[in-house]
Amino acid sequence: MLLGLGIVLGFASIGFLCWLLFLCAVYAAPLFVAAMVYTMLYDHGVLSGAHAVFTGIAAAILVLAFGQAILASSRDPALRVAVSALLALPAALAGFGTTLGFSGMGDMGTIPAYLFATFGALCVGGAAWARLCAIQPA
């Protein structure tokens, strides 16, 4: 009874985390930019902790706003593909890391784990790409 409940809840929790990953994959690029700006400013002693955090958040907001503004206003397919690719690439990297972590919970070899993680990266990156390409130009 409890073993079955544990298995069902384990699958439900992994399913929930995968759903959350697919939902938030579009925001991987702004989060990556925020982390890089914060790290650069704080590690080099340019700003203190709180100021570096707020600067990173501002940089993430700018990346998200400019990316969505370009996708919403541009009719040029090459520009839309380039911006979508730049915003979807960090989502694919996040999908790779997440599925590699999920496959590490089980008893899986190294090669199958990396193959599974590559498939996960393609799925998450493709989902982010599809959500970004769904933004119609005005």
Q: CA triplet 66, 67, 73: central angle to 5 degrees?
A: 85
Predicted TM-score (pTM) above 0.85? no
What is the arithmetic mean of pLDDT over 60-87? 89
pLDDT at residue 63, rounded to an integer: 92
Q: With a cut of 90, say whether residue 5 has pLDDT above it.
A: no
User: pLDDT by residue (tens digit) across 33-49?
Assistant: 999 999 998 888 878 88
Distance CA 41, CA 132 (A): 30
Question: 62 or 108: which carries more pLDDT confidence?
Answer: 62
Question: What span, in angstroms and rounded, lies between the C-alpha atoms of 74 and 15?
Answer: 36
Round to whole Å and give the CA distance between 109 and 73: 47
Q: What CA–CA distance (Å, rounded) separates 132 from 66?
A: 13
- Mean pLDDT within 48-71: 90
Separation CA 116–CA 101 (nearest Å) = 10
pLDDT above 80 for 12: yes
